[in-house]
Amino acid sequence: MTDLTELTAVRLVDGYRKGAFSPVEATRAVLERAERIQPEVNAFVRLTGEEALDQARRAEERWRRGEPCGRLDGVPVTVKDILLTRGQPTLRGSRAVSPDGPWDEDAPSVARLREHGAVFVGKTTTPEYGWKGVTDSPLSGVTRNPHDPSRTAGGSSGGAAAAVALGAGPLALGTDGGGSVRIPASFCGIFGLKPTYGRVPLYPASAFGTLAHVGPMTRDAADAALMLDVVGTPDARDWSALGPASGSYTEALSGGVRGLRVAYSPTLGGQVAVRPAVAGAVRRAVERLAELGAYVTEADPDFTDPVDAFHTLWFSGAARVVQHLRAGQRELLDPGLREIVGAGARYSALDYLAAVDVRMELGRRMGVFHESYDLLVTPTLPVTAFEAGVEVPKGSGYRRWTGWTPFTYPFNLTQQPAATVPVGTDGDGLPVGLQIVAARHRDDLVLRTAHALYGAETALVTARSAG
């Protein structure tokens, strides 16, 4: 029998259309899986079983009539507990947020999913206010890696990544201000996309400003394209949202990579020490891109690590996030968050504007880079998942999570689309991710390339099975 928790959203919708199985069956299977994995990995802040089943029954009736209400009718989804969800508290991983309502509004991305009939099975874990690249918080504890529960799932969308990886819903909404979709997706072995800034509207506006993106976390690029077609539409509440996309991301998947100019930067010009197992897996995937017809050149983008500017913007945003809290509430915060809040509060307006200057120059350099190259490919992270419950790997010498994420946060500064694709495992069986970056507004190229890699991997597995 088909295990419904292993199916992608594309396959679920196809099965609903053919009457092979129903939204109620799929939702029950996902809820059972979520309840089973929760004690070990802690992916959820809350599950909404009865509400989800009620949504699934209505979707089932629409499919029975041949009148689905949208492109995701009856598909189970999860939402990171940073994004407003009507009828459910959004606590943002914080004991300082009151669960009292009213919770009467959906974030734009959540609203679009609801309009298309998605079934909301639960809210997923986040570090407090999404401040760091691992997922633990004073509110919900530690979220663990589905491949090894002693390791971190990454963050800040760690619950979302773990849920997708373990079959607790094929689609998840995450947020990414410095890598928070790509980091956990890489650690957990799934696909994650940070779209071009503004492609997915965000409301309320993030205190981290225009670093913050909303993106799909899925099993493959086809599901992400389908999800982006749904959530990547304008919303009047976000003044910085982009206009309608020029076409369907799903329809653009079939273009392949033949003729694309790909710059492969294994270490950002020697700036990053990458573990050998990670470097090897990424290089093999890059070779597959060349076999598929891409013109691959080893080339580095022309920038030095912008971490100081990122910290100025990020820490200032954190200070703004908690500015409204009383002294007693601040005592409830994650100690690491309190520390960066203190640093952020000490920056001057001139410090902030100097960081903006660095950001603009980085954007200029990447704009020029993409005149020569359609895509930049790097490792997503230089390491695989480390021990759970800590911000940095023990013995690494890093002070903050940005020390081990040098490939991700630069592209929040530039607002470019960037995705992570699983491309193998290390010697401990922990997933390795490859990052694909394109010029702003070229989300289609990122998705096309990822889809081609998934197709190549499927063909390779099929050939091995036949052999």
CA distance 129 to 207: 10
Q: Which parts of the chain have pLDDT scores under 70?
A: none
CB 177 within 8 A of CB 135: no
> Quick one: DSSP state of residue 6?
G
The letter for the amino acid at 252 is A
* 304: helix, strand or coil: coil
Residues with active-site annotation: 80, 156, 180
**The pLDDT value given to residue 461:** 72
**The pLDDT value given to residue 312:** 98
How many whole angstroms from its chain centre is CA 29?
A: 24
* 59: helix, strand or coil: helix
CB 146 within 8 A of CB 188: yes
CB atoms within 10 A of CB 429: 10
**The pLDDT value given to residue 467:** 72
Domain CATH number, residue 202: 3.90.1300.10
Provide the strand spans (E) within 134-189.
Answer: 136-137, 141-142, 144-145, 148-152, 171-176
Q: Which two tokens stand for residue 35?
A: 């309840």
pTM: 0.98
CB 123 within 8 A of CB 87: no
Please give the tally of structural domains in the chain: 1
Q: DSSP readout, 388-411?
A: TT-SS-TTS--SSGGGG-TTTTHH
How many whole angstroms from its chain centre is CA 46?
A: 19
> Quick one: DSSP state of residue 134?
S
**The pLDDT value given to residue 101:** 82
**The pLDDT value given to residue 1:** 72
| Cα dihedral 27, 83, 164, 167 in deg (nearest 10) | -20
CB 172 within 8 A of CB 80: yes
CA distance 375 to 266: 14
Q: DSSP readout, 35-90?
A: HHHHHHH--EEEE-HHHHHHHHHHHHHHHHHT--SSTTTT-EEEEETTS-BTTB--
Range of the domain at 335: 4-466
